Every structure is written in structure tokens, then in C-alpha cells.
């Protein structure tokens, strides 16, 4: 099976939203906020557009919980995938469901099958600094079909704040922290590594993302192309 991982793009997009009650520096939750991201292949050709919208946000006992609806279209505007993720913000940390690590293409393909999912949530602190190490995250999935079980894991490791950099996208120019990670996918006998970088801006979230092959060659990219409060 050929699987394209845009994992880090999806997970950061899922938490790239605007403030409510100052819960988070980078990605607090506020109902109605929406982001549009355009996905490109290694040659810069548009591969699709993803829209992220906060459809529900609540605040109780110092914790903010939100639901993000995600709709993805291909380069011709055809609907290819829709899903929702849950987020929470408490104290100095935003937490995203570990299920967001799973490739959207895979969830679409196996959505009607018996699936068991477990893992460790993704955490990103409110305060970032260059050189800072971030906690690993992972998800494991067991797929049952016709009496046969298949296991898959995705591990996000070596997470760190690499540098600060200004980035310009069609939505504007932003001062960003650059976060690096290695995304490891294991399924059956296949074991692949996809290094990734994401550019995070305060009060906006992700404005750019790049995924690479193991040798460092660019494989795909994602860029913020519209933003609405």
C-alpha cells in the first residue's frame, strides 16, 4: 500500500486557531474561526485545499475544549475527506488527540472497517524557545478485515524548536517558530521516515509546513492561504 503522510501538517492545522480567554499563546479555541490551507507537491503544484473550522468551544474549570471540523478537497475541488478532531487547553499546554497522527488517506480507505486506536496525545506548550525539546507522540492502529489483523503505528519523535524565521504566505507575513520532527510510519513490513518542519506564528498557529523524504528532499508542503476570525 502506498501511503502519503501529511501528518504534521494536519496535526498543526488542527490546532492553528485564534484566542478565547487567553487559554493559549499560539492556538487557543474560538468558535467560528476558520483557516484555509493549500497543499502542494514537491514541484509546487496544487494538490488540494483543506478547510479547518472550530465548530464548538467550551470553557470549564480552567480547561478549554474545542472541536475542529476539517474538510479536504482535491485540486479539482472535489470533496475527498471530512473529519473532526478534539483539542484541549489547560495551564501552559495545548493537547491534541493522538488520532490526528493517522494519515487522512488511510482513515478514508479503512473507515468502514473494525479499527482499534490507542496512543499518546500531542502536546505543544504556550511558551516556545529556540533549542527547546518537545515530548514525543504516537498512535497505534489495529485493523480487522475478513479475519485478518493489520497493525500500524505512527511515531512523532525528535521534536524540537529549531529556529525563528519570518515567513510570507498569501495570507500575510508572520514571525514564526520553526518546529522540527521525525514522523515514522510502520505497517506490516514497511518502515518509513518523514522528517517535517512547521512554521508557527503567535495568535495564528501554522502558516507553513514542509515534509521531506529521509534524504532531505522536499516531498510536499502546505501553506496558509486564507484566515478568518
Provide the residue ranges of all domains of the chain, joining segments of one domain with +.
7-228
pLDDT of res. 123: 83
For residue 107, the 8-state DSSP code is: H
Give the bridge partners for 161, in sequence order.
Answer: 179
Contacts of 43 (CB under 8 A, 6+ apart): none
Output the pTM of the full model: 0.79
Nearest to 16 by CA among 8, 26, 24: 26
| pLDDT: which is higher, 202 or 160 | 160
pLDDT band of residue 15 (cuts 50, 70, 90) is very low
pLDDT of res. 33: 86
Nearest to 9 by CA among 54, 46, 39, 53: 39
**Statement: residue 158 has pLDDT above 50:** yes
Q: Which three cell numbers stand for residue 67?
A: 472541536
Mean pLDDT of 168-191: 89
pLDDT band of residue 2 (cuts 50, 70, 90) is very low
pLDDT band of residue 112 (cuts 50, 70, 90) is low
* CATH architecture entry for 7-228: Beta Barrel (2.40)
pLDDT of res. 104: 52
Amino acid at each position: 500500500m502506498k501511503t502519503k503522510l501529511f501528518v504534521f501538517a494536519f496535526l498543526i492545522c488542527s490546532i492553528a486557531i485564534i484566542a478565547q480567554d487567553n487559554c493559549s499563546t499560539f492556538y487557543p479555541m474560538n468558535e467560528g474561526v476558520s483557516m484555509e490551507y493549500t497543499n502542494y507537491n514537491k514541484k509546487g503544484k496544487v494538490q488540494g485545499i483543506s478547510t479547518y473550522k472550530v465548530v464548538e468551544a467550551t470553557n470549564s474549570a480552567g480547561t478549554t475544549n474545542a472541536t475542529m471540523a476539517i474538510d479536504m478537497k482535491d485540486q479539482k475541488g472535489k470533496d475527498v475527506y471530512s473529519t473532526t478532531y478534539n483539542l484541549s487547553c489547560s495551564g501552559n499546554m495545548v493537547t491534541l488527540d493522538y488520532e490526528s497522527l493517522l494519515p487522512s488517506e488511510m482513515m478514508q480507505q479503512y473507515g468502514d472497517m473494525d479499527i482499534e486506536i490507542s496512543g499518546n496525545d500531542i502536546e505543544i506548550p504556550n511558551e516556545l524557545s529556540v533549542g527547546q525539546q518537545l515530548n514525543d507522540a504516537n498512535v497505534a492502529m489495529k485493523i480487522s478485515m475478513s479475519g485478518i489483523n493489520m497493525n500500524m503505528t505512527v511515531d512523532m519523535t525528535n521534536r524540537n524548536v529549531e529556529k525563528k524565521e519570518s515567513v510570507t504566505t498569501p495570507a500575510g507575513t508572520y514571525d514564526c517558530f520553526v518546529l522540527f520532527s521525525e514522523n515514522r510510519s510502520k505497517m506490516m513490513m514497511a518502515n518509513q521516515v518523514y522528517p517535517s518542519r512547521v512554521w508557527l506564528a503567535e495568535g495564528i498557529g501554522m502558516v507553513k509546513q514542509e515534509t521531506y523524504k529521509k534524504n532531505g528532499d522536499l516531498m510536499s508542503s502546505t501553506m496558509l492561504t486564507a484566515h478568518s476570525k
